[in-house]
Every structure is written in structure tokens, then in C-alpha cells.
């Protein structure tokens, strides 16, 4: 099963990806997580990506396409994969089509999670995530049991540096200009599924599960 999870910043892609991989055994591939890991490890890729991420801009296509090509060639992707946050530009979508053709595979579904802007800003300003296991919480909607501590592993909860309000606004603008056109790209291909992301997490997931169960 080869799945793309799309949606604006804060739509719930990471939250839903965790639920999906518990039911469907495919690797969760998030370009944002890959870049953040590179930043934490202080690699050359991390240094390059950080400049863009801190401003809410997209990392250049050639860098992003390069890391995705390498990742999709790994053995665990043979059984399928769940892409979260890639593709994000038309150039990336076309590059993905080429990679899929080379691997004789197809994208089966592109799921777009839609949420109104004002809700996205509210969600991101109250998001915290675990430094250790990356579990995501929301201080207003899904707070951890102990303040600042991850329920799952006891790790420290931190705010993402790109969740400052001004950066969030930039990310939303970039999304509208560069990523929104992908909705019609996948619609024309016939594999777009729209999901209402402005409902309880469990209800969003049951809508997604229905789509995946029908593939
Ligand atoms: P990335 O990490 O992909 O960030 P994003 O797309 O901006 O999305 P987020 O991770 O912020 O949100 P999400 O949809 O995963 O929501 P979440 O589940 O956490 O990218 C970061 C940066 O990396 C980019 O800006 C760019 O610089 C670079 N980058 C990444 N990919 C790239 C690419 N392909 N090309 C170029 N550059 C790239 O949920 C958010 C909050 O809401 C949480 O607190 C959660 O608990 C809460 N929540 C979730 N669902 C619900 C619900 N149903 N109801 C209530 N609250 C909810
Ligand atoms: Mg995410």
C-alpha cells in the first residue's frame, strides 16, 4: 500500500500517521521528521534544512527529492509506505511519479486532510512533542498526564522551533502557494481522497481507515 498524506501545517498528518501504521504495517516517512533528525544530529543536511525550516520556507526540491529517493529504495519500503509531508511542490510530485515508475509501483491514494486556518494556528501554538519518542500532544486538546513529561516514555516535552506564530503564518502561506496545487494534481489522476480533519482525532482516523480499507 503506497499512501500519501497531505494537508496544511497542523492538519494532523503526524497524528494520523501514527494511527495508520498501527493498523497497516508500512513505514511512516515524514520529510519534516527526517530534517529535524538531521538538525539534531548536526549533519550537513541538517544545517542546510534548518535555514529554511526556521523561516517556514520549503527546503529546496533537489535536496528533498534526493533524501526521499534514497529512503524509498530501502528494503522496508518494498511492502509499501506512508508519505507524510512529501510531495509538497509540483516538482516533487513529478519526481515521485518518476521514482514510482522506475520501481514499477503506483501511488494508490493521496489523502488530503482539510482543516480551517484559524484552527491550524490554534493547534500549532499549543503543540508539544517528546524529544525522545516524538509523540505529539496538544496542551489544550490532548494534554499529557504530567506537565512537560511524555505519557509514553517519560521523555521531555518541547515546542517545535517553527511553531512560533509568525513562522506558522509563513508556513501556511507557503502551503497555499506551493502545496495546495497538488490537490488538483492528484484529483486529476483520480486518486485523491478528501478527509474532514476538523473533527475529533478518532473520527478523522475512522474516515481514513474506511478509505484505506477499500483499496
Ligand atoms: P513538517 O514537519 O512536515 O510540518 P508541517 O507540514 O508544517 O506539518 P506539522 O508537522 O506541523 O503538522 P501535522 O499535520 O503533522 O500535525 P500534527 O499531527 O503534529 O515540515 C516542517 C518543515 O520541514 C517545513 O516547513 C519545511 O521547511 C520542511 N519540509 C518538510 N517536508 C518538506 C518537503 N517535502 N519539501 C520541502 N521542505 C519540507 O498535529 C498538530 C497539533 O494538532 C498537535 O498538537 C496535535 O495533537 C493536534 N491535533 C491533531 N489532530 C487533531 C484533531 N483532529 N483535533 C484536535 N487536535 C488535533
Ligand atoms: Mg507533522
| Mean pLDDT calculated for residue range 128-134 | 93
Ligand 1 atom 21, closest CA: 32
Continuous H helices in 105-164: 117-125
Question: Which of ligand 1's atoms lies nearest the C-alpha of 17?
Answer: 18
Report the mean per-residue pLDDT for the chain: 96
Q: Is the pLDDT of residue 70 over 90?
A: yes
Q: Is the pLDDT of residue 46 over 90?
A: yes
Put residue 16 in one of left, alpha, beta given phi > 0 → left and psi -120 to 50 → alpha. alpha
Helix, strand, coil shares of the chain as percentages rounded to 5? 50, 15, 35
pLDDT score recorded for residue 84:
98
Q: Is the pLDDT of residue 168 over 90?
A: yes
Which residues, 6+ apart, have CB-to-CB distance to 211 below 8 Å? Answer: 109, 111, 193, 195
Which cell numbers hold the place of 167? Answer: 513562522
| Mean pLDDT calculated for residue range 56-74 | 97
Instruction: Using the mean position of ligand 2's atoms as its centre, give its distance from the Cα of residue 62 in Å.
Output: 21
| Mean pLDDT calculated for residue range 166-182 | 96
Ligand 1 atom 42, closest CA: 123
| Mean pLDDT calculated for residue range 20-46 | 96
Whether 57 is catalytic: no
pLDDT score recorded for residue 143:
96
pLDDT score recorded for residue 214:
87
| Mean pLDDT calculated for residue range 46-73 | 97
Mutation pick for ligand 1 pocket among 32, 162, 171, 203 (CB with most ligand atoms within 8 Å): 32
Lining residues, ligand 1, CB within 6 Å: 7, 9-15, 30-32, 35, 52-53, 56-59, 64, 85-86, 88, 92, 123-124, 127, 136-138, 141-142, 162, 171, 197, 200-201, 204
Amino acid at each position: 500500500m503506497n499512501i500519501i498524506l497531505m494537508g496544511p501545517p497542523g492538519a494532523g498528518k503526524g497524528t494520523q500517521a501514527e494511527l495508520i501504521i498501527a493498523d497497516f504495517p508500512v513505514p511512516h516517512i515524514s520529510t519534516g521528521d527526517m530534517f529535524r533528525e538531521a538538525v539534531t544530529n548536526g549533519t550537513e543536511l541538517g544545517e542546510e534544512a534548518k535555514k529554511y525550516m526556521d523561516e517556514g520556507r520549503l527546503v529546496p526540491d533537489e535536496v528533498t527529492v534526493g533524501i526521499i529517493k534514497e529512503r524509498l529504495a530501502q528494503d522496508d519500503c518494498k511492502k509499501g509506505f506512508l508519505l507524510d509531508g512529501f510531495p509538497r511542490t509540483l516538482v516533487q510530485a513529478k519526481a515521485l511519479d518518476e521514482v514510482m515508475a522506475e520501481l514499477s509501483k503506483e501511488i494508490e491514494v493521496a489523502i488530503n486532510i482539510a482543516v480551517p486556518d484559524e484552527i491550524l494556528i490554534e493547534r500549532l501554538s499549543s503543540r508539544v512533542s517528546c524529544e525522545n519518542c516524538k509523540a505529539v500532544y496538544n496542551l489544550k486538546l490532548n494534554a499529557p498526564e504530567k506537565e512537560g513529561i511524555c505519557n509514553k516514555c517519560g521523555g521531555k516535552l518541547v515546542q517545535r522551533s517553527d511553531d512560533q506564530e509568525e513562522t506558522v503564518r509563513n508556513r501556511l502561506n507557503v502551503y497555499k502557494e506551493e502545496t495546495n496545487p497538488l490537490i488538483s494534481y492528484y484529483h486529476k489522476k483520480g486518486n485523491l481522497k478528501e478527509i474532514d480533519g476538523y473533527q475529533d482525532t478518532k473520527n478523522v482516523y475512522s474516515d481514513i481507515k474506511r478509505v484505506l480499507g477499500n483499496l
